[in-house]
Amino acid sequence: MSDKPKSPPDVAQTAGFLGNLVNQARLVWRLFNDRRVSGWVKLIPVAGLAYLLSPIDLLPDLLIPGLGELDDLTVILVSLKMFVDLAPPEIVREHLDKLAKRVAKRQAPSEPYIDVPYHVVDDGKPKKES
């Protein structure tokens, strides 16, 4: 069993969520730049971005503060999800594998080490009292 201090669950969950978000963004970028993905499928995130930049909104930002921005965020996230879902699965799997290898390579220790339990043995010398 490891004696490493564990981070609080909320910090670990946040880091996991943000890490997953970064990996999804990298996946979308890789798929968008892959020539094997159809141009029609690549129009989906472009359409989501066009909606974000257009003055037309489903929920106007001025009428409903806060909720107006949520529809923009929802459209962007749905368009990116549809893009990944409609891309060829074998290409998506290939890019996910490459991203996983990249993360594993970054997290691998630079030098080999041995992690074993240990205990301190008294060398027999008298200890000084303070």
Q: What is the pTM of this model?
A: 0.65
Residue 108: pLDDT over 80: no
Indicate the angle between helix axes 67-86 and 9-33, nearest 10 degrees.
60
Q: Which of 6-10, 20-24, 62-66, 87-91 has the lowest mean pLDDT?
A: 6-10
Tokens of 45: 């995130």
Report the chain's mean pLDDT, rounded to a whole number: 80
